[in-house]
Structure 1
Amino acid sequence: MVAVIHQSKHLRIALNYNEHKVKNGQAVCLEAGYYPVGPEHLSFHQKLRRLELLAELNQRTKHNCLHVSLNFDPSENLSDERLREIAAVYLEKIGFAGQPYLLYKHEDAGHPHLHLVTTNIKPDGSAIRMNYLGRDQSEPARKDIEQLFGLVVADKQQKRQVFQVQPVNAAKVLYGKTETKQAINNVLVKVLAQYKYASLAELNAVLRQYNIVADRGDEKSRIFKYSGLVYRVLDEQGNKVGVPVKASLFFAKPTLKFLTEKFEANKLAKDEPKAKLRLKNVIDLYLLNGPKTLDGLMAHLKTKGIDMVLRYNEQGILYGVTYVDHYSKCVFNGSVLGKAYSANAIRERCLKTGADEGKKQNGRMAKLARDGQGTRGKTREDRPGIFDAVGGYQGQGLVETLLDTSGTAEVMDWDLKRTKKKKKKVRMSM
C-alpha cells in the first residue's frame, strides 16, 4: 500500500474532485464517517458543510483540509467492506480518529485506490498537527496496515509510480469542449498543487510534459489585453489543437490572478539549497567527461526524473533552458541555478571534449600550486553548488569544489617559510 498525502485550505476543491469522478462513473462514495446518514442520502453541499462547519472554528490554521489517497497493488482484490476497515484504521493511526470523513473508491487507474477527504479541525476548535504527517504518522501506519491486513508491501518503485500524471492524448480529446476540458483538468489538478513554479514559463515547462499549455494569446489579442488565460491541448509536435478552454471555466479557477499569487508563494517554497544541489550535481557528474551532446544530456536527466526544456526563438536559436525535477517537484530556469547552467553555458559545456577538460583542469591545478589562486573572485550565485556538511551550502559544483583551494592556506614559497635565526642584541655597558 502506498499513501499519498495532500494538505490544503480548499475543502471544496478536494470534495469536488471526488464528486466529479462519481458523476462520471469513475468512483463511488463508500463511506461518510461520523455523518448523521449514509453517503447515498447526502447532497454535495451537505457533505461539504459538515466539514466546513468544523474548519470555520479555527481561522488561524493555514491548512485545514487533508486529502489522502491509499493505493494498492493491482493484484489485490479487496472488498468494499475491507476497504472501509483499512481507511478507518489508517485515520485512527495518523491521529484523525473521530473526525468526519468521506471515503471514495476510484476506478479510473490501473490499480485500486481510495481517496479520503477530512479536516484537521476538531469540534473544540483545536487543530491536529500535520507537520511531517507523512513521515511520522502515515509511514508507520502504512507498514502496520500492510501486516494487519496482509497487503502487498510497497517498494520504492511502486511509490515512484503511484499517481504519475499521464500525458494527454490529443487524438482522444478532439471531439469537443467537454472532452478537452476534462483532459486538461486531470492534469491541472495534480500539477498546480504539487509543483513549485514561479512564472508562467516555468509552469508551462511542466504542463508541456503532459501536452498542455497555459496560453495568454498574442500581445495584440483581446485575451492578453484583459489579462485573460486559456488552456490548450498540444499534439506530439507541440502544436495547439482542439478547443481552448478559459481558465475561469475550471472549478479551481486557475486564472492569471490565481497563478500570480502562486508564483510569489512558490518563490519562497522552492528557495531550498538541497533542491538546487540535486540538479547541479546530476548535471556536473554527467558533464565531467566529454564529449557530450544536448540530446545526450536531456536523455540522461530524464533517467534521473528531470526534464530539460529548451527554448528556441523564431530563428531557431537556443536562448533559454528550464529544468523540471519531478522528484522535488521544483522548476528552475537555468540562470537561477547559476551561469554555468544557463542555455549557452550548458551548450558550451556539452561541446567540450574530455581531453580539453582534462588539459584545462591540469593547467589550473598547476597554476593553483604555483600561486595559490582559487576561486575567491566568484560569487556564490555564479558557481555551481554542493552542500558541505560542515560549512553548509557553499554554492559550488562538484568539479569546482574539487579544484577550489579558497578554504585552505595559501601556498608559500619554501624560502619564505624558513624561519630566520634571531640576532642577539648587543648591550653596551657604560
Structure 2
Amino acid sequence: MVAKISLGNSLYGAICYNGEKINKEKGRLLDTNKIYNDGSGTVNLHRVYEDFMRWMPSHTKTERPMMHISLNPHPDDRLSDTDYTALAHEYMQKMGLGDMPYLIFKHMDIDRHHIHIVALRVGTDGKAVSDRNNFYRSKDITRELERKYNLHTAERQRITSDMPIRKIDLSGDIKRQVANTVKMVGMRYKFQTIGEYNAILGLYNIRCEQTDGRVNGREYHGLVYFATDDNGNTIASPFKASRLGKFASRTAIDSRMERAKDNIDIRPTKQSVSEAMAESSGKDDFIARLKERNIDLILRHTDTGRIYGATFIDHNTRTVLNGSRLGRQFSANALEQWFTAGERPSVVPIQPDTRQEQPQPDTQPSQSDSQQPESGNAQSNTAGQQTTGGKSQGHQPFSQGQPSQQFQHSDTSAHDDVPSIPGLDLFHTGPGFDAEEEAFYRAMQRRKRKKRRGPRL
C-alpha cells in the first residue's frame, strides 16, 4: 500500500476536491471523526467546514494546519467499504492523528479504488502534531497493515530514464499519467521554447499553456496542463503545475529551456533530416523516411490548411527543434512550398563545425582556405593577401606599431577602419559574413582594451 501525504493551508479546497468526486458519482464519504456525518455517503460542504473551524485554534504558528492523505492499495487487492474504513482509522491512530478531526473518502474514478483522508493536524492548544520522519513512519505503518490485512506489497512507481512514455489512457488515473509524462519528458528531451515543449508533449496527448496575470496586486506566471485525445480535444479538467509537482512548474521548465541553449547540437539532426529530404519525393515519403530515422515531424496548419509551423523531434539525440532552427530550407514556408508546389528546398551539405576552435596568434591560412569567391564586379581577395591598385601584397604579420590590413570587409565605408588581431585573419567578412564570428571578434577587441587599461583600483 502506498501512502502520499500532503500538507496545506486550504481546508475548503481539500473538502471541495473530494466533494466534487462525490457529485460526479466517483466517490463517497465512508466515515468521519469528530465531524458530522449523516451516513448518506455525501457531504454537506458548509456544515463540514463549520465543524472543522470549531476545532481550529484561534492562535497557531503552524502555517499548514491541514493534512491530505491518500492510501493506495495494490491494484490486485479488493477491499470492502468496511475494510477501507478500518484501514484508515488504524492508519491515523498509528500516525498519532487518531484524536484529530478528519474525513475518510473513497475514490472510484479509476479501476484502482483508493481512499483519501482530510485531517486537521493542529490541536486546540495551537500545537501541531509533529511531521518529523513522516515518510519513514508512514512506510513502516503501511507495511504493518499489509501484513495484518493480508494485502499485496505495493511500492510507489519510480521514474527512470529507460521507462517508456505512453499516451494518456482514459481508463487510468489521468492526473498521475500527466505528471509522469511531464516528468519523463523534462528528464530526457531538450527544447528551447514552449512551442517545442508542446510539440513533444503532444505526441502523448498532453498540452501545456502559460498563465499570466495578477492576483491581489501580485503578478503570477504559471503553467496549466491539459489531457487531450488524438484530435487535440480536452478530455479532463486542467491541472495546475503545482498539483503535478515542482518539475512541472514554470520555473523548472524555464530553467530547462535556458540550459538547453548551451547543450543542443543541431548537426546530427540536421544531417538526418537533410538525407531524408534528399531521398524523398513528397510529404508522405518525407515523413516516412524521417520515421525510419526515429524522427517525428510535427506540422501545424492554419484553418485553410497552410503549414505555419514545423517541429522536428529527434528521439536519437532527444532534441526538439523548430524547422527554422535547423535552417531556412527546413522552415514551415519551405516545406509548404515543397508539399504544395513541388519546389524542393535546396539542401546545403553539412560542414564540420569549427567555431569552437580557439584561434592561435601564429595561425597561417592554408592555400585552400584563402580562396574567396567573387561577388559582383569585386576582385577576388584572400585572407592572407590584399589586392590594392591591381597589385597583390603579401600577408604581413600584425604589429602594434603598424595598423593591419588583414581584416578585409565588403562594405569599406563601414569597416575599413577596423583593425585586426592575431589569428583572426581566418575570419573574413564580405560574401561569407557570419554574425557569430563578428561578435567573437568584438569580444576579443574588448578584452584587449581592458588589458591595456590595467586593473581597476
- Smaller-chain TM-score bracket: 0.3 to 0.5
Which structure's residues are more often helix, by fraction? 1
Higher relative contact order (CA 8 A, sep 6+): 1
